[in-house]
């Protein structure tokens, strides 16, 4: 719900009195300009919300009751956020958005109700999770972090696996020109450092008997697939592998072997290395100069019709390494207390 709210209200600035009723959009005529992407993004944005709502209601409410609650919750949230958009000059409140959001919540609720036995019962996914991932709240939080890391790869404005860039939120990124070799070095270390850190974090969640290397390669493949899909959907005019720069290639060539070797290290060492690499890569991302080629390539996308999606992916990308560091600190504290009890 927080992610949906942020995406709906981005950029969260310029609030003003619309001069009319904030609910006027509900009875307004049908929007003159309707794009398939906007409708699809509104449906897909509320689809996981409806599904998660139904799953969270299990087992107290099931079937029709759970779907109805998800539908009402999605519709109420959409009306509330569209009403708030009336006070933002950069956003346009729309009754079509409310219908698309409500439809997404309904579709997600139905899907969640149908898939509840597989997710909550001892289905294939449940058995796979039980055999590969350790039990407990720490592992659940770790899986959420990994899912958000994959989601952050949808932002084409970041370096490959780069995260934690706070400059867009805090200050201007403009600066003097630099040699291309500097950009290659920064992107290579950023990609390699974050890949190794994420892989070591993921390995901390696995059981000793789990096929760690195969799982990490699958995670890497998923991240690269998301990256390709992001450029294919958001930047169709650019070549599909524009993001695979020389620096990104060097980062993958360095990071993949070290990732496969690093999972064999002792657990405590993996935790420390993951934290150090996360901090180093985050500092480097925030100190690195802006790449003029990347800025020119992404100018059209940033000024297009993807304001809410851009803001959401940018927020997740900016916050992710700090959430991961907090998680690693929590993980180390819990592990230390367990050893003390023994």
Same-domain status, 108 and 145: no
158 shares a domain with 28: no
Whether the CB-CB separation of 78 and 2 falls below 8 Å is answered with no
Looking at residue 122, its pLDDT comes to: 57
Identify whether the C-beta of residue 203 lies closer than 8 Å to the C-beta of residue 216: yes
Tell me which residue of 91, 70, 93, 71 sits closest to 80, measured CA to CA.
93
Does residue 20 surpass a pLDDT of 60?
yes
Among 121, 140, 171, where does a domain finish? 121
**Is residue 300 scored above 80 in pLDDT?**
no
Same structural domain, 178 and 327: yes
- Between helix 180-204 and helix 137-152 the angle, nearest 10°, is 150
Residue 79 has pLDDT above 60, yes or no: yes
| Paired strand residues for 206 | 133
Q: Where is the domain boundary, 93, 121, 149? A: 121
Q: Is the pLDDT of residue 46 over 60?
A: yes
Residues 185 and 240 in one domain: yes
Q: Does 181 reside within a domain?
A: yes
Identify whether residues 158 and 135 lie together within a single domain.
yes
Alpha carbons 58 and 109: distance in angstroms, whole number: 12
Q: Looking at the structure, tell me whether residues 167 and 67 fall in a common domain.
A: no
Structural domain including 257 reads: 131-341
**Per-residue pLDDT tens over the stretch 311-336:** 677 788 888 999 999 999 888 887 66
Q: For residues 83 and 140, state if they share a domain.
A: no
243 located within any domain: yes
**Bigger pLDDT: 174 or 166?**
166
Q: How many CB atoms lie within 10 A of CB 211?
A: 12
Place of tokens 């992404």: 298
pLDDT at 305: 44
* Residues 6 or more apart whose Cβ sits within 8 Å of residue 260: 213, 216
Of the residues 76, 92, 121, the one at which a domain ends: 121
Mind listing the pLDDT tens digit for each residue in 246-291? 888 999 999 999 999 999 999 889 999 999 999 999 888 888 776 6
* Same-domain check for residues 96 and 172: no
Residue 183 counted as domain residue: yes
Whether residue 126 is contained in a domain is answered as no
Domain presence at residue 177: yes
Residues 139 and 29 in one domain: no
* Pair 172, 320 in one domain: yes
Q: What is the pLDDT of residues 95-117, one digit of tens each?
A: 888 999 999 999 999 998 888 87
Residues 166 and 70 in one domain: no
Are 81 and 115 within one domain?
A: yes
């Amino acid at each position: 719900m927080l992610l949906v709210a942020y995406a709906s209200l981005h950029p969260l600035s310029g609030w003003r009195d619309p001069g009319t009723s904030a609910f006027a959009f509900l009875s307004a005529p049908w929007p003159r300009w309707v794009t398939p992407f906007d409708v699809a993004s509104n449906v897909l944005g509320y689809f996981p919300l409806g599904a998660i709502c139904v799953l969270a209601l299990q087992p107290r409410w099931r079937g029709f009751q759970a779907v109805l609650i998800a539908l009402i919750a999605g519709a109420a949230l959409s009306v509330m956020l569209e009403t708030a958009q009336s006070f933002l000059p950069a956003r346009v409140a729309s009754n079509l958005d409310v219908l698309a959001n409500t439809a997404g919540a309904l579709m997600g609720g139905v899907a969640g109700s149908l898939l509840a036995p597989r997710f909550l019962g001892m289905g294939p996914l449940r058995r796979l999770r039980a055999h590969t991932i350790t039990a407990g709240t720490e592992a659940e939080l770790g899986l959420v972090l990994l899912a958000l890391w994959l989601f952050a790869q949808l932002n084409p404005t970041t370096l490959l696996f780069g995260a934690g860039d706070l400059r867009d939120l805090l200050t201007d990124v403009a600066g003097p020109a630099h040699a291309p070799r500097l950009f290659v070095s920064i992107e290579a270390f950023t990609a390699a450092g974050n890949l190794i850190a994420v892989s070591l974090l993921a390995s901390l969640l696995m059981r000793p008997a789990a096929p760690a290397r195969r799982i990490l390669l699958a995670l890497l493949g998923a991240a690269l697939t998301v990256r390709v899909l992001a450029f294919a959907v958001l930047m169709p005019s650019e070549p599909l592998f524009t993001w695979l720069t020389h620096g990104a290639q060097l980062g993958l060539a360095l990071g993949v072997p070290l990732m496969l070797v690093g999972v064999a290290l002792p657990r405590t060492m993996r935790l420390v290395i993951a934290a150090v690499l996360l901090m180093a890569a985050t500092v480097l991302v925030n100190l690195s100069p802006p790449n003029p080629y990347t800025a020119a390539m992404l100018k059209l996308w940033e000024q297009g019709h993807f304001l809410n999606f851009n803001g959401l992916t940018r927020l997740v990308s900016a916050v992710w390494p700090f959430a991961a560091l907090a998680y690693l600190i929590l993980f180390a504290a819990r592990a230390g207390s367990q050893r003390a009890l023994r």
